[in-house]
Amino acid sequence: MLEATLLPPPPPQPSWRTMMDQMAADGVSAYRAVVRENPEFVEYFRQATPEQELGRLPLGSRPAKRREGGVESLRAIPWIFAWTQTRLMLPAWLGWEAALSKALERGEGTVLAQMREQWPFFRTRIDML
């Protein structure tokens, strides 16, 4: 047990990295479809999080927003902080369902199971969802 936890994990297979790249692209597309392309999302964000209240706090040297506008006008730290306050953690998981679904549609279920079993990085990522 001690040796297993002290040694670095085995490296992932190159095909796993390729699959993760594809899943990342699929996940980003799904994430952006909700966050950037849905005209109702900004209103949802403002209603579901304390974003406007957080913007009034003196938390840093920069304003919480760059200018008036949509999601792209927010700075990264207030964006994450607002989601963290709601415990929803939306930026951490939104898009993963679509990425996993597309991998399954491509017939990669067996490879996903191998990745979860043999690649600690992937297992941890899945477990965090």
Please state the domain count of the chain.
1
Q: What is the pLDDT of residue 20?
A: 96
Cβ atoms of 21 and 99 within 8 Å: the answer is no
Give the CA radius of gyration of the chain: 18
Does a structural domain hold residue 114? yes
**pLDDT per residue over 114-124, tens digit each?**
999 999 999 99
Alpha helices in the chain (DSSP H): 2-6, 14-35, 41-48, 51-55, 76-86, 90-93, 96-105, 109-118, 120-128
Q: What is the pLDDT of residue 104?
A: 98
Domain span at 77: 23-128
Does a structural domain hold residue 7? no
Token pair 């304003």 is found at: 63
Average pLDDT over residues 108-119: 96
72-81 long-range Cβ contacts below 8 angstroms, 24+ apart: 72/36, 78/51, 78/54, 79/51, 81/54
